[in-house]
Amino acid sequence: MIESSVILIDSNVIIDILQNDRTWANWSLDQLACYNHPAVNPIIYAELCYQNTSAHELDQILTQLDIEYSEIPRDALYLASQAFRLYRERGGLKTTPLPDFFIGAHATVLGIPILTRDTARYQTYFPKVELIAP
């Protein structure tokens, strides 16, 4: 275990565990066990709500997995908007900021890694963020 380590856990990793994905569940559990302070932010939380019947149910799951909840600092919200601006300037078609922009900006501002299986957007818009990925 990495002492006093904080890491954002992307929703795909938690979904792997909850759905006992044959390919990724063991990897996701093993990686999650390496950190003392795994966390989700409001964006990841909202993505996970889709899979659950209530916020209470999701809170129980996060507690069982020993995953904390972390608010997104305002500096990160600003950085997410700047990543979205760059995305649009590069021809991106979405008209609102993408969830990964908020997650990547949050990790950037706090200087913490992201545990994920979906690295492309993070690598493109937040190249300084450490990604823990297969």
Domains of the chain: 2-132 (3.40.50.1010)
How many Cβ atoms sit within 10 Å of the Cβ of residue 119? 16
Q: Could you tell me the pLDDT band of residue 3, with boundaries at 50, 70 and 90?
A: very low
pLDDT in tens, 44-66: 999 999 888 899 999 999 999 99
Report the distance separating Cα 100 and Cα 120, nearest Å: 10
Mean pLDDT, the chain, rounded, equals: 94
Residue 29 CA: distances (Å) to CA of 24, 64, 88: 9, 12, 35
Task: Say whether pLDDT at 14 is over 70.
Answer: yes
Report the distance separating Cα 53 and Cα 55, nearest Å: 7
Q: What is the pTM of this model?
A: 0.91
Task: Say whether pLDDT at 7 is over 50.
Answer: yes
Task: Say whether pLDDT at 4 is over 70.
Answer: no
